[in-house]
């Protein structure tokens, strides 16, 4: 009972335990915040990676593979497949409607010629279409007055889902959200067209280069597409580069479409034409497959390989077929496909882990030394307690309890702080990324001025400590105010480096709990070591302190 | 109580051939060189000696706060040697059998007067849910403090008290577990004569009720309050004189 009484008194009648609590809290908050954000990036990357390409990606060489739609139908028949879609993946140049210098802006893009309906069963394509009318009047009210979504009707979403401009019936193009410079991201994550460049009101010109199956480059071909919608996957790399056109258009532009096949060995007729013996099938270069939940990407990859062999054998055995399936195809899981994206973030997280383990150790050392100072200061008390018959275990218990309470309160505050920061991290990020509001830095200057007045008073009274503290306050506040005034915004998490346009705002609770546990453990150990040392010395020795 | 009686009655607390050596680096200083002291039940013994003669050292060793040099001397309480190693028995000895009063009070600054006075009772009563004993301890500590004239200062911190008041709190603490022997190390050493007299009156009143007291002092006038005075010179105890009443 005296242990509880004393540890409570030690906790409440001094300043130093609060310093210890603050130290524990800051250390815990630091580690939890950084590891949470890094883990969040990684999870987001992996999540959206799957949402962008599905679970398994089949790719062929540049010549593509025939009978893609039939193979897709085969795959769709597999019990563990949720959806499959064939597409052509190529590069192209896009001439934008807005100028750069005295000509129109031209940007290079990744062109996906897709069948939007089946693509939507594999990826989040349909949900990622950004431009759609507000769901109801409440949602409309929440939007900015000049938000273009307010004037949209359902046709834009339909056009995006079909990649066709329904008004004219022409094939359309959907642009990645960051392909055009027209979309200015707002603080709430919505977009407003910059300088009136609301892309669905404009046409763009796409240029692609067909490559023959022998690898010969043909004449580039271009086509004007009306922009039907824009796509926001959330992965900056994708949204910055990718455009979507209908598969048919892509096949035609790239000469991968169905074509008549003539028998060149036969005698040409009077007009010099060879006899027509059939049609070469249209080709695709990629297949995306999505697993039903419960099937892993790796398992699906194996199934797709088997299915492909069976399909290729079937085609080869069919005498009516004019083309054969390529012998080698590349079947990868989404993780393998996106390795280049995932690896750097993973590496960075590991680096952060190591770095923060070091910081963690420094924190532990800090906590240990604070406790050391606290307990050594109490050595005489320990001598008194021992002289009235307190056991060494009893003395130790006082400080274990003391350390435990500091650890628990500090860790809890730390986790709470981390939670507060992480939940608001996007707002904080925005604030850091923009100029400091004038009121804040002027206010800080005013505070600094007030400190200076107090400093003058302290000098007048000749109080040394007060002079020192107010001097410190004045100069630190002045420094902060100057820094704020000069601050013009730096983006810490540059979206072009971290792939995402928002910072993850979920606490990684495993890290939070383990870090908090570490905080408690280090506090208890930190208090126990000097307390055990003090309890070990003879009471008479202990009484000599102080 | 005369010499003869002291010699016949079994000693309550005794020190036999106690040696105590402190070493400053390579140079050993032998402070006690075979000190013997027998204290019988109900006696008030004063240990007189000049500063640095080892009075405090002897008292600490007798109170189990320090130990004699290894194998050179022992302390017996009620005929049995007290444990010289750490352990529950030594803790119990310090807690229940003796009460210690220091020259510099040694109160815990974070506890108030009442809590300081009941500290040994709390230490001895490890389990708070044995509530009745805690209440008893509180009541008896309060009664003791009131009888020492500190009834109005129970919730004050030691820093708010005068030296004489602090020493009375320290004596109340030493008496909390009704020990058999009170060991007082210069209990008046830090106080003026009049305040010191008050403290000695208090001890003498307790002594009259049967408390055994061993008191260390360098002041013959203070020693004169005891039944028996011994002198510590050259690390040994010399029987000096007995106070006639
Ligand atoms: N822990 C220690 N380490 C080294 N020397 C010590 C220690 N404790 C006591 N001494 C020495 O032992 C001698 C006796 O000390 P002690 O405190 O017993 O004297 P004392 O008779 O009580 O003196 P005073 O009247 O001044 O209190 C002194 O010379 C002191 O310096
Ligand atoms: Mg002394």
Task: Compute the nearest-CA separation of A392 from chain B (Å).
Answer: 8
What is the chain A residue with the closest CA to B125?
A1
Q: What pLDDT is recorded for position B243?
A: 53
A214, pLDDT greater than 80: no
Closest to B60 (Cβ–Cβ): which among A4, A384, A540?
A540
User: Which one of A389, A402, A537, A539 makes the best mutation probe of the B interface by having the most chain B beta carbons within 10 Å?
Assistant: A389
Q: Which ligand is nearest to the CA of B31?
A: 1
A118, pLDDT greater than 90: yes
User: Could you tell me if A1 lies within 8 Å of chain B, comparing CB atoms?
Assistant: yes
Query: Which position has the higher pLDDT, A507 or A226?
Result: A226
- A141-145, A475-479, B63-67, B225-229: the lowest-pLDDT one: A141-145
Cα separation, A246 vs A229, in Å, equals 13
Whether the model clears a pTM of 0.90, i.e. scores above it, the answer is: no
pLDDT band at A225 (very low <50, low <70, confident <90, very high): very high
Q: Which residues contact B65 (CB under 8 A, 6 or more apart)?
A: A386, A387, A538, A539, A540, A543, B94, B100
A500, pLDDT greater than 80: no
Q: Do B65 and A394 touch (CB under 8 A)?
A: no
User: Which one of A387, A532, A537 makes the best mutation probe of the B interface by having the most chain B beta carbons within 10 Å?
Assistant: A387
pLDDT band at A443 (very low <50, low <70, confident <90, very high): very high
Cα of B50 vs centre of ligand 2, distance in Å, is 9
Greatest alpha-carbon span in chain B: 54
- The residue contributing the CA closest to ligand 1 atom 6 is B22
Q: Does B55 sit in the ligand 1 pocket, CB within 6 Å? A: yes
Contacts of A4 in chain B (CB under 8 A): 128
User: Could you tell me if A386 lies within 8 Å of chain B, comparing CB atoms?
Assistant: yes
Task: Compute the nearest-CA separation of B121 from chain A (Å).
Answer: 9
Q: Do B123 and A383 touch (CB under 8 A)?
A: no
Cα of B51 vs centre of ligand 1, distance in Å, is 8
Closest to A543 (Cβ–Cβ): which among B106, B120, B128?
B106
Cα separation, A50 vs A400, in Å, equals 49
Determine contact, residues B239/B60, Cβ cutoff 8 Å. Answer: no
CATH class of the domain at B3-242: alpha beta
**What number does the ligand 1 atom closest to the CA of B232 have?**
21
Cα separation, A282 vs A69, in Å, equals 9
Give the three-class secondary structure for A120: helix
Cα of B217 vs centre of ligand 2, distance in Å, is 8
Query: If you average pLDDT over residues A245-254, what whole number do you get?
Result: 94
Q: Which residues of A13-30 are buried (b: 16+ CB within 10 A; e: fewer)?
A: eeeebeebbebbbbbbbb
Nearest of B43, B6, B58, B40 to residue B234 by alpha carbon: B58
Domain borders along chain A are 1-51+338-434+505-546, 89-276, 435-488
Convert the pLDDT of each residue in A46-78 to its tens digit.
777 777 888 999 998 877 899 999 999 999 999
CA angle A104, A108, A110 (to 5 degrees): 140
Convert the pLDDT of each residue in A283-319 to its tens digit.
999 999 999 988 888 999 999 999 999 999 999 998 8
Contacts of A386 in chain B (CB under 8 A): 65, 94
User: Could you tell me if B195 lies within 8 Å of chain A, comparing CB atoms?
Assistant: no
Write down how long chain B is. Answer: 245
Query: If you average pLDDT over residues A322-328, what whole number do you get?
Result: 85
Query: Which position has the higher pLDDT, A55 or A361?
Result: A55
- Partnered with residue B80 across adjacent β-strands are B77
Per-residue CA distances from A26 to A66, A366, A421, B48 (Å): 61, 11, 12, 58
What is the chain A residue with the closest CA to B126?
A1
Per-residue CA distances from B187 to A391, A541, A546, B175, B218 (Å): 25, 20, 19, 14, 11
Q: Does B54 sit in the ligand 1 pocket, CB within 6 Å? A: yes
Cα of B184 vs centre of ligand 2, distance in Å, is 10
Taking only the tens of pLDDT, chain B with its 245 residues reads 444 444 557 889 999 999 999 887 788 899 999 999 999 999 999 999 988 899 999 999 999 999 899 888 899 999 888 866 668 888 889 999 999 999 899 999 999 999 999 999 888 765 554 555 678 888 999 999 999 999 999 999 999 999 999 999 999 999 988 999 999 999 998 888 898 999 999 999 999 999 999 999 999 999 999 999 999 998 899 876 655 54
Give the tokens for residue A433: 């990324």
> To test the ligand 1 pocket, which listed residue (B46, B56, B68, B185) has its Cβ within 8 A of the most ligand atoms?
B56
Q: What pLDDT is recorded for position A137?
A: 84
Domain borders along chain B are 3-242
Cα of B55 vs centre of ligand 1, distance in Å, is 8
Nearest of B60, B72, B59 to residue B30 by alpha carbon: B72
Determine contact, residues A86/A256, Cβ cutoff 8 Å. Answer: no
Q: What pLDDT is recorded for position B110?
A: 92
Contacts of A385 in chain B (CB under 8 A): 108, 119, 123
């Amino acid at each position: 009972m005296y242990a509880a009484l004393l540890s409570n008194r030690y906790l409440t009648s001094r300043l130093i335990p609060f310093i210890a609590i603050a130290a524990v809290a800051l250390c815990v908050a630091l580690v939890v915040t950084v590891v949470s954000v890094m883990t969040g990036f990684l999870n987001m990357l992996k999540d959206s990676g799957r949402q962008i390409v599905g679970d398994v990606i089949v790719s062929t060489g540049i010549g593509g593979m025939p009978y893609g739609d039939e193979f897709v139908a085969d795959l769709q028949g597999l019990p563990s497949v949720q959806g499959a879609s064939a597409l052509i993946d190529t590069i192209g140049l896009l001439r934008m409607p807005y100028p750069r210098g005295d000509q129109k802006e031209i940007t290079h893009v990744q062109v996906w010629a897709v069948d939007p309906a089946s693509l939507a069963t594999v990826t989040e394509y349909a949900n990622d279409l950004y431009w759609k009318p507000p769901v109801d009047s409440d949602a409309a009210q929440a939007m900015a007055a000049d938000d273009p979504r307010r004037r949209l009707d359902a046709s834009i979403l339909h056009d995006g889902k079909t990649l066709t401009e329904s008004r004219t019936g022409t094939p359309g193009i959907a642009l990645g959200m960051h392909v055009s410079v027209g979309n200015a991201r707002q603080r709430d994550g919505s977009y407003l067209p910059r300088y009136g460049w609301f892309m669905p009101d404009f046409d763009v010109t796409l240029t692609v280069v067909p490559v023959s199956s022998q690898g010969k480059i043909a004449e580039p071909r271009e086509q004007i597409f009306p922009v039907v919608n824009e796509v926001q996957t959330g992965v900056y790399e994708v949204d910055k580069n990718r455009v979507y056109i209908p598969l048919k258009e892509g096949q035609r532009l790239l000469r991968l479409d169905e074509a008549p096949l003539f028998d060149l060995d036969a005698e040409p007729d009077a007009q010099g034409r060879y006899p027509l013996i059939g049609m070469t099938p249209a080709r695709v270069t990629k297949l995306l497959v999505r697993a039903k939940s419960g099937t892993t990407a790796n398992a699906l990859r194996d199934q797709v390989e088997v299915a492909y062999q069976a399909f290729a054998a079937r085609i080869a055995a069919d005498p009516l077929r004019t083309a054969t399936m390529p012998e080698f195809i590349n079947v990868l899981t989404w993780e393998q496909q996106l390795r280049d994206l995932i690896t750097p973030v993973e590496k960075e997280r590991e680096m952060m882990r190591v770095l923060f383990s070091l910081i963690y150790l420094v924190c532990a050392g800090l906590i240990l030394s604070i406790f050391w100072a606290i307990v050594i200061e109490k050595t005489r008390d320990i001598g008194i307690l021992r002289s009235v018959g307190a056991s060494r275990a009893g003395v130790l218990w006082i400080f274990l309890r003391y350390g435990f309470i500091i650890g628990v309160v500090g860790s809890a505050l730390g986790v709470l702080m981390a939670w507060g920061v992480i939940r608001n991290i996007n707002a904080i990020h925005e604030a850091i990324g923009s100029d400091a509001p004038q009121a804040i830095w002027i206010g800080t200057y005013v505070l600094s001025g007030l400190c200076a007045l107090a400093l003058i008073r302290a000098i007048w009274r000749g109080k040394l400590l007060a002079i020192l503290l107010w001097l410190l306050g004045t100069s630190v506040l002045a420094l902060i105010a100057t820094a704020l005034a000069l601050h013009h915004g730096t983006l810490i998490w540059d979206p072009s480096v971290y792939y995402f346009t928002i910072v993850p705002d979920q606490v990684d609770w495993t890290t939070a709990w383990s870090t908090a546990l570490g905080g408690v453990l280090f506090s208890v150990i930190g208090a126990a070591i000097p307390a055990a040392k003090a309890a070990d010395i003879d009471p008479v020795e202990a009484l000599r302190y102080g | 109580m005369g010499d003869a009686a002291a010699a016949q009655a079994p000693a309550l607390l005794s020190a036999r051939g106690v040696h105590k050596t402190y070493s400053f680096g390579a140079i050993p200083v032998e402070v006690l060189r075979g000190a013997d002291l027998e204290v019988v039940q109900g006696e008030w013994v004063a240990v007189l000696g000049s500063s640095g003669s080892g009075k405090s050292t002897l008292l600490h060793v007798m109170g189990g706060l320090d130990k004699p040099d290894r194998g050179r001397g022992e302390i017996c309480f009620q005929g049995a040697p007290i444990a010289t190693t750490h352990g529950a028995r030594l803790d119990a000895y310090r807690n229940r059998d003796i009460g210690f009063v220091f020259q510099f009070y040694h109160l815990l600054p974070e506890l108030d007067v009442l809590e300081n006075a009941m500290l040994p009772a709390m230490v001895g009563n490890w389990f708070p849910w044995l509530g009745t004993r805690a209440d008893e301890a509180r009541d008896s500590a309060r009664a003791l403090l009131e009888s020492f004239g500190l009834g109005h200062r129970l919730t004050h911190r030691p820093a708010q008290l005068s030296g004489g008041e602090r020493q009375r709190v320290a004596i109340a603490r030493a008496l909390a577990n009704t020990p058999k022997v009170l060991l007082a190390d210069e209990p008046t050493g830090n106080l003026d004569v009049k305040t010191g007299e008050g403290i000695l009156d208090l001890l003498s009143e307790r002594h009259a009720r049967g408390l055994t007291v061993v008191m260390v002092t360098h002041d013959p006038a203070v020693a004169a309050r005891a039944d028996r005075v011994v002198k510590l010179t050259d690390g040994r105890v010399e029987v000096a004189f007995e106070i006639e009443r």
